[in-house]
């Protein structure tokens, strides 16, 4: 960030951050909003806006305390950006007086914010004078304390009465960079040594994973071009081994990876020896990413573009021995990697997503061979997308049996997973896993 600070005025970065925050508030994903930022600004803006999203609840509460009536959307976003960056002086990426001065400059130089420049200046100067009392006042607001929307907090309190505070705390931490070693090419120990030789500290985690002590540029890591590894969270690395565990003759099995993009789990299935994998995704561009990622690993699958739930459009009539359904979900389990998600989602989204998950389960279950299995998973910590979805499915499908599987994986706490006892406290995302076997009625 320091290099970018010298090249690009901070006020320009703050303007771009405000545009990104406004876009997310209007329904655009954070990734898409950041991608729309000018390339010269993008690295600095991404670093700043991630900090903003992790502190936006506090910033919004402070803005309401300073000015109960919100200014126009872009000026409000700029004001909240400055407050999110400055409210904790010890963690602020820049000196707080500099942040305030540059935020006012950003308002002055943007035609949409210029009419509110004096308002922005007055609010931020008052904040500097009364910081301690304003922060103390907003401590009473759960949205400010936890930096998540109220509906999100309430849902977690209901779904996880013992763990909700831990989940919210972990959601604001920076996620580690975890790799999955391609053991067809190199062993975990050998790759860890390659990292050590390159001066990169790392430790082995669950199964074939390695967690880096510090995040690195992916393409700079040893063996990237050679396909020695993929970037994949420790919780996500459980999917392929869970689906294949206990299956005889894995190489000869026919496996479907539904909703497969960007192909991390497809690659893992192939690395574990499956030779006949169909990878399905509804988006053609995302399907191309699957092909590209597999090509780097020297692997190949049948990649199809279609809605997995519209079976008649893509299925050839042959059943699958195993189906992996990593269903579209709220992404509530990966907000530490995508902190914009909590501000992008709405309470009504969860029911809509649960309905989509139910549709996909119903469509894909008939495609599973008798004696085969389907692994249902979501990167969500909401019960509606996990255990509630599972209970509904089992109640309506008497030929389905729940096989040993982790269930809810709360961030940084593995539960009920014998195969990872040596890494019970691995640093992982929130996930839900249910392995379903198909048997005669």
Give the residue numbers annotated as catalytic, written as ranges: 379
Distance in angstroms (rounded) separating the CA atoms of residues 94 and 92: 5
Tell me the C-alpha distance between 295 and 298, whole Å: 5
**Where does residue 237 rank: exposed (0-12), middle (13-18), buried (19+ CB within 10 A)?**
buried
Lookup: tokens for 82 = 């400055």
- Count CA atoms within 13 Å of residue 339 on its CB side: 26
| Conformation bin of residue 409: beta by default, left when phi > 0, alpha when psi is -120 to 50 | beta
In terms of DSSP bridges, do strands 229-231 and 178-181 run parallel, antiparallel, or are they unpaired? antiparallel
Residue 115: CB partners within 8 Å, gap ≥ 6? Answer: none
Give the containing element (helix H, strand E) for 339.
none
Evaluate the omega torsion of the peptide bond into residue 180 and state whether it is cis, within 30 degrees of 0.
no
Residues 6 or more apart from 17 whose CB is under 8 A from it?
45, 48, 49, 52, 77, 78, 81
Q: Could you tell me if 290 and 281 are in contact, meaning their C-beta atoms sit under 8 angstroms apart? A: yes
Q: How far are the Cα atoms of 135, 138, 242, 314, 324 from residue 145, in angstroms, in the given order?
A: 10, 8, 37, 48, 38
Taking CA 53 as the corner, what is the angle to CA 50 and CA 59, rounded to the nearest 5 degrees? 130
Residue 413 per-residue DSSP state: B
Within 8 A by CB and 6+ apart from 220, the residues are: none
Sheet holding 178-181, edge to edge: 202-204, 209-212, 178-181, 229-231
Surface-to-core class of residue 131, CB atoms within 10 Å of its CB (0-12 exposed, 13-18 middle, 19+ buried) = middle
What Å distances lie between residue 250 and 56, 186, 255, CA to CA? Answer: 47, 21, 9
What 3-state DSSP class applies to 278?
A: strand
Fill in the DSSP letter of residue 73. Answer: H
DSSP of 192-221, one letter per residue?
HHHHHHTT--EEE-STTEEEESS---GGGS
């Amino acid at each position: 960030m320091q290099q970018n600070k010298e090249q690009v005025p901070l006020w320009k970065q703050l303007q771009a951050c405000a545009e990104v925050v406004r876009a997310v508030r209007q329904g655009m994903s954070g990734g898409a909003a950041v991608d729309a930022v000018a390339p010269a600004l993008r690295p600095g803006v991404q670093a700043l806006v991630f900090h903003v999203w992790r502190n936006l609840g506090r910033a919004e509460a402070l803005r309401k305390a300073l000015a109960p009536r919100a200014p126009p959307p872009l000026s409000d976003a700029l004001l909240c950006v400055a407050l999110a960056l400055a409210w904790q002086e010890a963690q602020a990426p820049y000196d707080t007086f500099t942040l305030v001065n540059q935020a006012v400059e950003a308002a002055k130089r943007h035609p949409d914010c210029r009419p509110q420049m004096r308002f922005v200046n007055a609010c931020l100067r008052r904040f500097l004078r009364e910081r301690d009392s304003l922060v103390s006042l907003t401590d009473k607001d759960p949205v400010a304390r936890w930096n998540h929307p109220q509906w999100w907090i309430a849902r977690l309190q209901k779904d996880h009465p013992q763990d909700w505070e831990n989940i919210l705390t972990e959601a604001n931490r920076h996620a580690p960079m975890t790799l999955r070693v391609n053991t067809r090419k190199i062993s975990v120990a050998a790759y860890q040594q390659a990292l050590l030789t390159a001066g990169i500290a790392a430790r082995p985690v669950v199964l074939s994973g390695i967690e880096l002590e510090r995040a690195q540029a992916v393409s700079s890591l040893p063996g990237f071009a050679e396909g020695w590894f993929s970037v994949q969270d420790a919780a996500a690395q459980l999917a392929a081994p869970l689906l294949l565990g206990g299956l005889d003759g894995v190489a000869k099995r026919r496996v479907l990876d539904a909703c497969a993009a960007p192909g991390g789990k497809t690659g893992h299935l192939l690395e574990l020896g499956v030779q006949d994998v169909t990878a399905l995704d509804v988006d053609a561009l995302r399907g191309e990413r699957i092909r590209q990622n597999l090509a780097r690993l020297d692997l190949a699958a049948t990649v199809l573009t279609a809605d997995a739930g519209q079976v008649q459009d893509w299925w050839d009539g042959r059943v699958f021995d195993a189906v992996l359904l990593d269903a579209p979900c709220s992404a509530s389990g990966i907000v530490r990697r995508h902190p914009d998600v909590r501000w992008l989602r709405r309470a009504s989204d969860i029911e809509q997503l649960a309905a989509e998950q139910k549709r996909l389960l119903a469509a894909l279950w008939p495609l599973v061979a008798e004696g085969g299995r389907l692994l249902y998973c979501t990167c969500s910590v909401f019960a509606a997308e996990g255990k509630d979805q599972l209970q509904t499915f089992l109640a309506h499908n008497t030929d389905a049996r729940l096989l040993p599987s982790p269930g809810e994986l709360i961030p940084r706490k593995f539960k009920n997973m014998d195969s990872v006892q040596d890494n019970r406290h691995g640093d992982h995302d929130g996930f839900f896993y249910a392995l379903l076997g198909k048997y005669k009625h």
